[in-house]
């Protein structure tokens, strides 16, 4: 892509749309604007992902909380479809990376290429230079390649040959992965998992949704009918609006108490990091904003506790007792949520 081409223009070119970009926002969003835009995004993605409103809402929370989303489930349940549907609703630059065992870090971050005419090295951006990056089957590549996303996901920048290149804003990585026990997968390292704001599972559709899918998608791809309903600038404005949601000091102490409880729980070997604590608060703010509230309540925190914390925790082997590690973690989080005192926060 030519360096003078904006991400918005590149997105229009890929769609074959020559219409001008959406107008620049003249003023900050208000509550009605936020509700209107988020409602459009949820409705648009919901037309593609039948019967999974929780998964669609979680994807939007990750976007507006400036986090990243990890979708883990068996093949064929719509993990990539959800990521692509969310990307299609935003008028921004979108890249998809198919992770394979032979994928190299430079394919993601970019490389310096020698220009024989100018007689110097020029940086060629990799696939990570986009507003939304779909990392499909991320755990099918080697840990070396997986680690190439660490700096990008945390610092929104990439360093190649000693030079730092800033990524566009907003920036979201939506990664899909198959369960670890499936053939040809590499477990994500702890540092990689900790950079994902939340992990969700799609699950199988119910009978009615699956029957509807058979009738509607026999000859038509539902993604073909999606058009952007929000621009990158509007997403940035929505992020700023959600960031302003109030969190009472008592609720901040509640989140810290939950995190500390994971670090001292007898069944947990590795507890929640301070990054997890911060991201739980950010996600709770977005959830409150989506519910048309300007303040966080305890339910916002408890509802997001498992999606935000569970993938970061490592259980003790002695606590498994024949159970899967994920079941041990979920059980521990439920007991922690039941034992930590819930504060009665007053409305600001």
Q: How many C-alpha atoms does 132 have within 13 Å on its Cβ side?
A: 27
Percent of the chain with pLDDT over 90: 48
Write out pLDDT tens, residues 282-325: 999 999 999 999 999 999 999 999 999 999 999 887 766 555 67
The secondary structure of 277-301 as a DSSP string is: HHHHHHHHHHHHHHTT-SB--HHHH
Classify residue 85: in a domain, yes or no. Answer: yes
Classify residue 306: in a domain, yes or no. Answer: yes
Classify residue 344: in a domain, yes or no. Answer: no
- In this structure, the answer to whether residues 147 and 275 fall within a common structural domain is no
Average per-residue pLDDT for the chain:
84
**pLDDT(53) > 50:** yes
Q: How many C-alpha atoms does 246 have within 13 Å on its Cβ side?
A: 10
Classify residue 1: in a domain, yes or no. Answer: no
**pLDDT(11) > 50:** no
Q: What is the CATH number of the domain that holds 327?
A: 1.10.8.80
Write out pLDDT tens, residues 331-342: 999 999 999 999
Classify residue 348: in a domain, yes or no. Answer: no
- In this structure, the answer to whether residues 134 and 148 fall within a common structural domain is yes
Given a contact cutoff of 8 angstroms between Cβ atoms, the answer to whether 103 and 145 are in contact is: yes
Q: What is the CATH number of the domain that holds 78?
A: 3.40.50.300
Residue 31 is predicted with a pLDDT of 83
Residue 319 is predicted with a pLDDT of 62
**pLDDT(254) > 70:** yes
Domain boundary among 208, 240, 272: 240
Classify residue 2: in a domain, yes or no. Answer: no
Residue 312 CB partners (closer than 8 Å, separation 6+)? 190, 193, 194, 270, 272, 273, 276
What stretch of H or E contains 199?
A: strand 198-200
Classify residue 210: in a domain, yes or no. Answer: yes
Domain boundary among 210, 240, 270: 240
- In this structure, the answer to whether residues 53 and 147 fall within a common structural domain is yes
Tell if the pTM clears 0.95, that is, is over it: no
- In this structure, the answer to whether residues 232 and 262 fall within a common structural domain is no
- Domains: count for the chain: 2
- Host domain of residue 128: 7-15+22-240
Give the CA diameter of the chain. 68
Domain boundary among 223, 240, 257: 240
319 CB neighbour count, 10 Å cutoff: 17
Classify residue 168: in a domain, yes or no. Answer: yes
């Amino acid at each position: 892509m030519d360096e003078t081409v904006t991400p918005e223009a590149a997105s229009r070119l890929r769609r074959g749309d020559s219409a001008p970009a959406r107008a620049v926002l003249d003023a900050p969003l208000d509550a009605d604007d936020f509700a209107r835009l988020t409602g459009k995004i949820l409705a648009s993605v919901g037309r593609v992902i039948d019967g999974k409103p929780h998964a669609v809402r979680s994807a939007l929370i990750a976007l507006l909380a400036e986090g990243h989303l990890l979708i883990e489930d068996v093949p064929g349940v719509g993990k990539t479809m959800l990521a692509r549907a969310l990307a299609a609703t935003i008028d921004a630059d979108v890249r998809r990376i198919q992770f394979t065992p032979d994928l190299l870090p430079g394919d993601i971050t970019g490389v310096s290429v020698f220009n024989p005419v100018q007689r110097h090295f020029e940086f060629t951006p990799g696939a990570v230079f986009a507003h939304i990056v779909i990392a499909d089957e991320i755990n099918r590549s080697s840990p070396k390649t997986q680690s190439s996303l660490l700096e990008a996901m945390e610092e929104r920048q990439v360093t190649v040959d000693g030079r730092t290149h800033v990524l566009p804003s907003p920036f979201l990585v939506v990664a899909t992965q198959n369960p670890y026990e499936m053939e040809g997968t590499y477990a994500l390292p702890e540092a990689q998992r900790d950079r994902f704001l939340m992990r969700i599972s799609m699950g199988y559709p119910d009978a009615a949704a699956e029957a509807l899918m058979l009738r509607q998608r026999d000859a038509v791809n539902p993604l073909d009918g999606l058009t952007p309903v929000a621009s990158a600038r509007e997403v940035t404005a929505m992020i700023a609006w959600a960031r302003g949601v109030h969190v009472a000091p008592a609720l901040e102490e509640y989140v810290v108490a939950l995190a500390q409880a994971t670090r001292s729980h007898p069944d947990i070997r590795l507890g929640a990091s301070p990054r997890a604590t911060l991201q739980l608060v950010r996600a709770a703010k977005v959830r409150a904003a989506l519910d048309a509230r300007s303040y966080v309540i305890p339910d916002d925190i408890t509802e997001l506790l498992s999606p935000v914390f569970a993938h970061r925790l490592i259980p003790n082997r002695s606590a498994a007792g024949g159970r899967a590690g994920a079941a041990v973690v979920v059980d521990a989080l439920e007991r922690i949520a039941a034992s930590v005192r819930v504060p009665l926060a007053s409305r600001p």
